[in-house]
Amino acid sequence: MNILSSMYGSSLREFLPLNKGRILGLILVFAFLSGIPSNSSEMENWQKEYDQLKAKIEREELEPRTSPKNINEYGKWMRIKAADRNKATELAGKAQLSGNPYWQNKFLDLKELAQDSGNTTLWTGGYVFMRVKTKGAGGAGNSWESAVFKAGPKVGQKLFRWAGQYGFNKEIIRDYARCLMRFANGDVEEGYTGLYEGRRSEFGHIDQDGNLVMPNRDFDITCERRDEFTTVEEGEPKVPADKAMEMVDKIREQCKWYNLQGEYDDSTDLMEEYLQEKTVLCELPKDKGHYFFLKLAEKYDLPKAKEHIDGFYATIYGKVELDTMEGRKPAREAKVMVRSPKDKDAPKNRREWTATTDEDGKYKMKGVILHKDCSPFKITAEYKNCEEKTKYVGPLEAPDSSYEYKKDLLIFCPRILEVDLVWSTDFERFPQYHERWGGKAHIEIYVKVVDEKINGSSIKTLQGSGQGSQECWVKIDRPEWIENVQYSKIIALLAMSLSR
């Protein structure tokens, strides 16, 4: 009450006649005055602390000013401004403990001022080091590579970590990174060092009348997602698939680090689409087979591309016949093999397929490569000493794993001669011999045409081979002739030779 009287020079009763309205006013006055220290020296100490800290925070607000292009200066000043904020928080706590909400609130205001100052430093660092620079009078502008660098560990990630370490708003840097990654997705698709030659997109969507319509909102064309653009010229893929996946995955890595799911999905969509391009599979690069592209889809976790590429493995079937002197006949138990020449680095089950024909000469193989653009593929049929080597062009221009392709094979054996011999001794003609012998033989002779080069000239020669089996028997009438069995065998062989 004495404080009120001394301040206003009148009694409390005269200053505030007691009615309901004045009672409320009295309560408010007490609430206000309760924060004013009763001790003038204490008030002077709070004021001094406040003035000094406020002056320091305001003086440092625009830092760093001396070296604005040295990124480490931004980390240094965020650390200093975090210390100012923490000091203001500490003094606010002390004022609270001393029952002085007035100074508590004053120092909390300084805390917010220091926090804003630190966020300003962070924002400025993002602007200096992470903003997208487009082509213009000032230079060539950023590319997807420079965008990835700006977002990476030497620049953007460093600022992001400092923000977390010193308690400032990391979303400021995440927003800069988001814009960089959106720009990078566009540039890696159709920029000078991008995946396509001649591809061009326009911002907006085509309406039902064929007009390009801009979105009805504020936008920054350098910071828009991929699906906000419409491709008006397709262009042609120009980068080998493995290099293309490596390029776009660098963008995905930054998106993943900053937890930018939408932008990560945009990069993934581009990779999926590129691997499914007709002029990419088995073309970029040309010396790689179908399996090479399948492994890329698996390596970079591209399920749509993997399903697409897998769809070119289907079924091949047919009949293998022999062209003999007696006409065509089924090649029973012939070995059929398909090979993908470009897939030399693939596991065996992805570069070579085999089957054996049944009694009717028929075969069937599943999971065989039938992709037209990866053709030709080698197919061989072997039957004993004869074989047919040829190639086929896959029929599939689009994936269809249920497709069944018929490929019949004719093994041409110009001369297949089969000879069966049966012989035995004539006892009536040679009664002096007490042993009898005989046997049988089956002989097969194969002749095939072989392409050769002699002295630079291409010629065809006949190459023959034969094989057979035989059985012999000897009957000895008298036991004392047993020691002459070896001699009898020689006689038997001689007889067989003469019979031919």
Q: Counting every residue, how long is the chain?
A: 500
pTM for the full predicted model: 0.76
DSSP classification of residue 213:
E
- What whole-number distance in Å separates Cα of residue 487 and Cα of residue 106? 128
Distance of CA 482 to the CA centre of its chain: 80
- What whole-number distance in Å separates Cα of residue 43 and Cα of residue 185? 59
Going by C-beta distance under 8 Å and a sequence separation of 6 or more, which residues neighbour residue 237?
Answer: 195, 196, 197, 244, 274, 277, 279, 280, 284
Domain ranges of the chain: 14-130, 171-310, 314-412, 415-499
CB 390 within 8 A of CB 379: yes
CB 455 within 8 A of CB 446: no
pLDDT at 420: 81
DSSP result, 417-434:
EEEEEEEE--TTT-TT--
Strands 205-206 and 200-203: unpaired
CB 35 within 8 A of CB 102: yes
Cβ neighbours of 485 (radius 10 Å): 11
pLDDT at 9: 41
pLDDT at 172: 98
CB 282 within 8 A of CB 288: yes
By C-alpha distance, which of 125, 105, 119, 6 is closest to 64? Answer: 125
Which tokens hold the place of 402? 């249920």
Residue with tokens 């970590």: 161
Long-range contacts of 108-116 (CB under 8 A, 24+ apart): 110/50, 110/53, 110/54, 110/57, 110/84, 111/85, 113/54, 113/57, 113/58, 113/88, 114/57, 114/81, 114/82, 114/84, 114/85, 114/88, 115/85, 115/167, 115/168
Going by C-beta distance under 8 Å and a sequence separation of 6 or more, which residues neighbour residue 219?
Answer: 203, 228
Distance of CA 473 to the CA centre of its chain: 71
By C-alpha distance, which of 283, 188, 277 is closest to 234? Answer: 277
Beta bridge partners of 339: 352, 378
Angle between helical axes of 156-166 and 144-151 (0-180°, round to 10): 20
DSSP result, 118-132:
HHHHHHHHHHHHHS-
Please tell me the CATH code under which domain 314-412 is placed: 2.60.40.1120
The edge-to-edge listing of strands for the beta sheet with 386-392 is: 352-356, 335-339, 377-383, 386-392
Q: What is the pLDDT along the chain (500 residues), one digit of tens a residue?
A: 343 333 334 443 443 444 545 554 544 445 444 545 556 777 789 999 999 999 999 999 999 987 789 999 999 999 999 999 999 999 999 999 999 999 999 999 999 999 999 999 999 999 999 999 988 756 678 999 999 999 999 999 999 999 999 999 999 999 999 999 999 999 999 999 999 999 999 999 999 998 999 999 999 999 999 999 999 999 999 999 999 999 999 999 999 999 999 999 999 999 999 999 999 999 999 999 999 999 999 999 999 999 999 999 999 999 999 987 678 899 999 999 999 999 999 999 999 999 999 999 999 999 999 999 999 999 999 998 789 999 999 999 999 999 999 999 999 876 666 778 887 776 666 666 666 777 888 877 766 667 777 877 778 676 777 778 888 877 666 554 444 445 555 555 545 454 44
Angle between helical axes of 101-130 and 144-151 (0-180°, round to 10): 150
Task: Label residues 394-416 b or e (16+ Cβ within 10 Å = b).
Answer: bbbeebeeebeeebebebebeeb
pLDDT at 15: 39
Q: Could you tell me where the DSSP H helices lie in 98-235?
A: 101-130, 144-151, 156-166, 171-190
pLDDT at 1: 39
- What whole-number distance in Å separates Cα of residue 289 and Cα of residue 273? 19
CB 238 within 8 A of CB 225: no
